[in-house]
Amino acid sequence: MSRVLLLLPSATYKAKDFLHAARALGIDVVVGCDETPALGELMGTRALRLPFDDPDAAAEAIVLHDSATPLDAIVAVDDQGVVAAAAASERLGLRHNPPGAAAATRDKLVMRALLAKEEVSQPAFATLPDGATTEDLAAIADAVGLPCVVKPTTLSASQGVLRADSPEALADVARRVRRIATSAGVDPRSFLLVERFIPGDEVAVEGLLRDGDLEVLAIFDKPDPLEGPAFEETIYVTPTRLDDEDSRAVVDATRKAAEALGLREGPVHAELRIHRGRAWVIEVAARTIGGLCSRALTFSTGRSLEELVLAHAAGIALGPVEREERASGVLMIPIPRAGRLVAVDGIAEALHVQGVIDVQVTIAPGREVLPVPEGNRYLGFVFARAQRADQVEASLRTARSLIQVHIED
């Protein structure tokens, strides 16, 4: 039986899905997490506490654990663990991404520099230092172009990402982004990243790298315009409705981006925009799609995305795997405003919408909630399937209209 170490940050949505996938494949699981109480109690003695904010120390702890309990693979389910997984896997001779490549996906400035070096299509960008003057901001706006997008270099899930349309707005946006980043634990003296805003349709690519060869598993359309000022994602639908030429451009750009970063093994999640016949790379991550969104994907013989990732890491042959023929999608239920969550109503009604197959609310009543860009979580997820992508989108929009979120100050 293969033994896999799953790196599960305490805040991840993905623990149950990866643990279920491991059971389906007959894989013995060891859990590595940054907090022991919840997952430690779940896994008993097969839980390992790891400092994800110190990848070298985490890797050392993993190697020490392997000396007593040998591992066949290490899989990071979210961004926080990808560098530790790469470093430990390299030391143990397991399938891995180079640690530097994994680290590049965790630092947007490093990622931009590597993509630029290999001439991968991406937005123009510049760095914004702490204490930038009015003249500095004007120069950055002139160099990057307006409108532009300001973001921290290390956060994810659209947290701290805001659009600015003028040099004056850039100053206000930069101050707000820095406040958000500092509240999330980012060094207040660190650079912010300023990128040219790329208009056009946005898509997400879900792929799996095998010895550097990218297998595209799905392309998701994002039918709601993401134009700012914040960039809260809502609906993902697959298969894509892009034409063949644009689809090829998206796949080609994703492949070039993975090569430029040095990624070699495991999942890839990329965000791109289509503008003027080109695919522009916005983000690349060495993990699967965020939240519970992977539940929108089912593959031949009923395999989940998590099963594909774990089987690849552990060297388990599954044979040819393709996404199911039906269209599918997910709605990420947005948080309408900051406050205390009282209730989420309309779930039963949403479940009766034709095509809707599941609704999951992931934040309990009584919890404080923050919308994007200050926050980085969703209230829950709605899943739908149908014969066509437009039917899936319609089902998700109808479900969204029925769900009522009650928040109090």
Q: Is residue 334's pLDDT more than 80?
A: yes
CATH number for the segment(s) 326-409: 3.90.1170.30
Q: What is the pLDDT confidence band of residue 25, given thresholds at 50, 70 and 90?
A: very high
Grouping H, G, I as helix, E, B as strand and the rest as coil, residue 337 is coil
Residue % of the chain over a pLDDT of 90: 91
CB burial string 188-211: b at 16+ within 10 A, e below: eebbbbbbbbbebbbbbbbbbbee
Q: Is residue 41's pLDDT more than 90?
A: no
Q: Is residue 44's pLDDT more than 70?
A: no
CATH of 124-196, one of 3.40.50.10860, 3.40.50.720, 3.40.1710.10, 3.30.1490.20: 3.30.1490.20
Q: Is residue 324's pLDDT more than 70?
A: yes
User: Could you write out the three-class secondary structure of 171-225?
Assistant: HHHHHHHHHHHHHCCCCCCCCEEEEECCCCEEEEEEEEEECCEEEEEEEEEECCC
pLDDT at 359: 98
The angle at the Cα of 270, spanning 280 to 116, to the nearest 5 degrees, equals 45
Q: What is the pLDDT confidence band of residue 36, given thresholds at 50, 70 and 90?
A: low
The DSSP code sequence of 234-284 is: -EEEES--S-HHHHHHHHHHHHHHHHHHT--SEEEEEEEEEETTEEEEEEE
pLDDT at 43: 54
The string of pLDDT tens digits covering residues 217-272 is 999 999 999 999 999 999 999 999 999 999 999 999 999 999 999 999 999 999 99
Q: Is residue 45's pLDDT more than 80?
A: no
pLDDT at 1: 80
Q: Taking the domains of the chain in order of start, what are their residue ranges?
A: 3-97, 124-196, 326-409
Nearest to 13, CA basis, from 379, 407, 384, 345: 379
Identify whether the C-beta of residue 323 lies closer than 8 Å to the C-beta of residue 310. no
- What mean pLDDT is predicted for residues 342-365? 97
Residue 112 CB neighbours (<10 A):
22
CA distances (Å), 251 to each of 203, 213, 240, 329, 345, in order? 11, 12, 12, 20, 39
Residue type at position 119: E
Nearest to 208, CA basis, from 72, 79, 97: 97
pTM of the model: 0.95
- What mean pLDDT is predicted for residues 364-392? 96
Q: Is residue 312's pLDDT more than 90?
A: yes
CATH of 3-97, one of 1.20.1630.10, 3.10.180.10, 2.60.40.10, 3.40.50.20: 3.40.50.20
